[in-house]
């Protein structure tokens, strides 16, 4: 019976690995049909005979994003929502612009690993491992440098310089998702109880209420 148990164990491991990422394509391409009423994990395929070059094209990553905001950064994401030809291909791309002292705040991508290369400027980047270690891996990057952020881990990018910075990021999902930690915790709708947050962050309720107000001011 031992060989059968081993075979079943290996099959389970392989299956779990396959399920843990975007599904592999079973044809040359599967352009997303965003008008389909059918709900599936991803998008229904458009009839391949109706596909056009525009389904595989996105213009504009040469244009700087608007960094005139509280954090001083802007992410221009090209995922399946912007480029339907990415459907089932398990990849997306983003341009990130940073004003001087601009920050892409601590966040996670629940469905993707991110690999980043600096096109212009200097960045301080890092990620934190999961509990219980919570170890910080951080590095100062310059033009041409590359850094990778493992899937699901909290990470950030900060421009410490007095000049702008630009990076290009590849993500291992057609729809990587993003959870910005501060927005999710203090800007949840409806709000998380201030009693819960006060205990979790070891703060008084007045401080929690003030923090929540910062994220609700524009909602």
Question: Residue 110 CA to chain centroid, in angstroms?
Answer: 7
Annotated binding residue at 120?
Answer: no
Annotated binding residue at 66?
Answer: no
Residue 196 and residue 199: Cα distance in Å, rounded? 5
Residue 25 and residue 79: Cα distance in Å, rounded? 16
Three-state DSSP state, 210: helix
E strand residue ranges, 30-153? 73-78, 92-98, 103-108, 114-120, 123-128, 136-141, 146-149
Annotated binding residue at 195?
Answer: no
Measured in degrees and rounded to the nearest 5, phi and psi for residue 198 equal -60, -40
Burial class (CB in 10 A: 0-12, 13-18, 19+), 153: middle
Give the alpha-carbon dihedral of 130, 131, 136, 141, to 10 degrees: 10
Element (H, E) at 188: none
Residue 211 and residue 145: Cα distance in Å, rounded? 35
Residue 148 and residue 116: Cα distance in Å, rounded? 6
Annotated binding residue at 107?
Answer: yes
Place of tokens 């389904």: 55
Residue list for the binding site for Mn(2+): 107, 109, 114, 155
Residue list for the binding site: 104, 107, 109, 114, 155
Residue list for the binding site for oxalate: 104, 109, 114
């Amino acid at each position: 019976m031992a060989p059968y148990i081993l075979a079943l164990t290996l099959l389970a491991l392989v299956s779990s690995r396959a399920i843990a990422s975007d599904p592999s394509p079973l044809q040359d391409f599967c352009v997303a049909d965003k008008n389909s009423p059918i709900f599936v994990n991803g998008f229904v395929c458009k009839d391949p005979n109706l596909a056009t070059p525009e389904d595989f094209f996105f213009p504009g990553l040469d244009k700087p994003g608007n960094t005139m905001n509280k954090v001083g950064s802007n992410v221009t994401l090209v995922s399946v929502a912007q480029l339907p030809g990415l459907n089932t291909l398990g990849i997306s791309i983003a341009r990130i612009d940073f004003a001087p002292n601009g920050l892409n705040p601590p966040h996670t991508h629940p469905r993707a690993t991110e690999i980043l290369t600096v096109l212009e400027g200097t960045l301080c980047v890092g990620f934190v491992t999961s509990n219980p270690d919570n170890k910080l891996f951080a590095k100062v990057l310059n033009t041409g440098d590359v850094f990778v952020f493992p899937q699901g881990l909290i990470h950030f990018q900060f421009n410490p310089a007095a000049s702008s910075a630009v990076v290009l990021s590849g993500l291992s999902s057609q729809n990587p998702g993003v959870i910005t930690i501060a927005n999710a915790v203090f800007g949840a709708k409806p709000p998380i109880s201030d009693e819960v947050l006060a205990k979790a962050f070891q703060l008084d309720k007045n401080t929690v209420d003030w923090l929540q107000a910062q994220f609700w001011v524009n909602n």
